[in-house]
């Protein structure tokens, strides 16, 4: 692999993507639609993490909603504390604590809420809490060589547990409604149109940083090892590498990406609730990565945008058709297009572009698809 971060082809792809989300969307959409796109883009963080973790590392996590949710909840706790100043909550029986605590007869701020009064602590917690959580899960599982479907089921179970816990502990977490009515960030009102506009750009810029980071991991030696681990784990282990540590690292990285997405979600949408943590949202996040192409970081962004856009417009006009479409999408993307949109682009559009520019077609992708890998292994 060459030492440069991107081939020329990929630089163009990055430029196109950056132009799309930084120039085209803001220029053509009203603030309502732009805010919606910003919300979709927060899922792209999760999808990008899954591309690394699942597409490259072969670790399917059905619990990315955990990390998305933890990141989002950390941010929401800070915003909620700021919104529940004693002046704002003077009508409560205990002023100065979040409204849902007051409704549930909690009279004192729980000790683990107190550090979230500090903004620097919150920013650190957004990343650190989910990563530590991912480390505990990953270390317990990968050290014992639990992988594949067992890992998927257990992450799913943990997502379910966390959801039940959040809903059950209404007085401390806001319950099924989540943490709502968030107003200001350090005194800056996040509900105004101009704030939404600025947050959209912050979100987009962060996404591009995450994509660059992901690409740096992908082209490094570690990235090659990830693919080797996915395809022949034992051979990597016998070559003297610590497979478990690599897996833990990539799982934690994916968790960190998801957490950033979650925090940006809270900022842009203005609330956080358990409906973004559980089993169904977590598995939907996998489909964003799968539709975009499980091996393509840029594909993940397009996947998140297209699936969510389709979801919004379908649910607006034909709500009963959406689940059929979603189910069909799951089946189609697995059976017919295992490499998603990125794979289709590579096999159909790129040869066409190459013909137009009279260049030789690009060399085949270095990362074999799972289907091809299986075929190779079988031979």
Partner 1 sequence: MIGDYTLVEFSSILAMQGFAGLILFSVFVLMALGLAIIFGQMGVINMAHGEFMILGAYVTWLCSHFVTAYVPALFPIYFFIAMALAFLASGALGMLVEWAMIRHLYKRPLDTLLATWGLSLILQQLYRSVFGAREVGVSLPDWMMGSIALTDIIEVPINGIFVMVLTMLISLGVFILMFRSAWGRRVRAVVQNRAMAGAVGINTKKVDRVTFGLGCGVAGVAGSAFTMIGSTGPTAGQLYIVDTFLVVVFGGAASLIGTIASAFTISQAQSTMEFFMSGSMAKVLTLLTVVGILMLRPEGLFTLKMRR
376 scored as a contact of partner 1 (CB under 8 A): no
Stretch that binds partner 1, among 186-194, 196-204, 238-246, 318-326 (CB under 8 A): 318-326
Pick between residue 144 and residue 355 the one whose CB is nearest to partner 1. 144
Contacting partner 1 (CB under 8 A), which of 15, 16, 114, 371?
371
Answer for the pair 156, 282: CB distance below 8 angstroms, yes or no. Answer: yes
Give me the least distance between CB of 148 and partner 1, in Å please: 6
Q: How many residues bind partner 1 (CB under 8 A)?
A: 46
**Residue closest to 311 by CA, chosen among 337, 333, 284, 286:** 284
Contacting partner 1 (CB under 8 A), which of 9, 144, 191, 355?
144
Stretch that binds partner 1, among 53-61, 125-133, 234-242, 343-351 (CB under 8 A): 53-61
Q: Write the binding mask 272 to 291 for partner 1: x where contact by CB under 8 A, - elsewhere.
A: -------x---x--xx--x-
Pick between residue 309 and residue 330 the one whose CB is nearest to partner 1. 330
Contacting partner 1 (CB under 8 A), which of 150, 188, 238, 318?
150
In this structure, the number of other CB atoms found within 10 A of the CB of residue 187 comes to 7
Tokens of 102: 């007051």
179 scored as a contact of partner 1 (CB under 8 A): no
145 scored as a contact of partner 1 (CB under 8 A): yes
326 scored as a contact of partner 1 (CB under 8 A): yes
Contacting partner 1 (CB under 8 A), which of 86, 110, 115, 328?
328
Give me the least distance between CB of 128 and partner 1, in Å please: 22
Pick between residue 122 and residue 156 the one whose CB is nearest to partner 1. 156
Answer for the pair 252, 135: CB distance below 8 angstroms, yes or no. Answer: yes
Pick between residue 128 and residue 326 the one whose CB is nearest to partner 1. 326
119 scored as a contact of partner 1 (CB under 8 A): no
**Residues in touch with partner 1 (CB under 8 A):** 54, 58, 60, 62, 140-141, 144-146, 148-150, 152-154, 156-158, 160-161, 164-165, 167-168, 279, 283, 286-287, 290, 320, 323-324, 326-331, 333-335, 338, 370-371, 374, 378
């Amino acid at each position: 692999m060459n030492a440069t971060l991107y081939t020329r082809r990929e630089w163009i792809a990055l430029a196109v993507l950056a132009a799309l989300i930084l120039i085209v969307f803001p220029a053509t959409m009203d603030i309502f639609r732009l805010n919606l796109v910003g919300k979709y883009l927060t899922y792209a963080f999760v999808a990008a993490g899954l591309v690394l973790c699942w597409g490259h590392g072969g670790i399917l996590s059905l619990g990315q909603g955990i990390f998305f949710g933890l990141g989002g909840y950390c941010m929401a706790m800070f915003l909620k504390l700021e919104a529940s100043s004693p002046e704002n909550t003077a009508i409560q029986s205990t002023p100065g604590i979040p409204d849902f605590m007051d409704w549930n007869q909690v009279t004192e701020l729980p000790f683990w809420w107190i550090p979230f009064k500090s903004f620097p602590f919150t920013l650190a917690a957004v990343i650190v809490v989910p990563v530590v959580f991912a480390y505990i899960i990953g270390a317990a599982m990968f050290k014992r060589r639990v992988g594949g479907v067992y890992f998927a089921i257990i992450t799913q179970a943990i997502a379910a547990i966390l959801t039940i816990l959040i809903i059950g502990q209404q007085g401390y977490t806001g319950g099924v409604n989540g943490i709502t009515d968030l107003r200001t960030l350090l005194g800056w009102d996040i509900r105004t149109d101009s704030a939404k506009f600025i947050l959209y750009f912050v979100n987009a810029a962060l996404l591009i940083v995450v994509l660059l980071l992901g690409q740096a991991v992908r082209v490094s030696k570690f990235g090659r090892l990830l693919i080797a681990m996915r395809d022949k784990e034992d051979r990597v282990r016998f070559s003297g590498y610590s497979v478990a540590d690599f897996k833990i690292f990539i799982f934690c990285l994916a968790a960190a990406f998801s957490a950033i997405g979650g925090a940006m979600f809270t900022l842009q949408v203005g609330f956080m609730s358990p409906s973004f943590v559980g089993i169904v949202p977590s598995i939907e996040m996998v489909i964003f990565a799968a539709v975009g192409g499980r091996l393509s970081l840029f594909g993940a962004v397009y996947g998140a945008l297209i699936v969510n856009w389709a979801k919004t417009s379908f649910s607006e006009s034909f709500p009963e058709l959406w689940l059929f479409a979603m189910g069909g999408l799951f089946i189609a993307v697995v059976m017919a297009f295992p490499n998603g949109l990125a794979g289709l682009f590579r096999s159909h559009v790129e040869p066409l572009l190459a013909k137009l520019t009279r260049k030789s077609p690009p060399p085949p992708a270095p990362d074999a698809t799972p289907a091809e890998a299986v075929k190779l292994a079988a031979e």
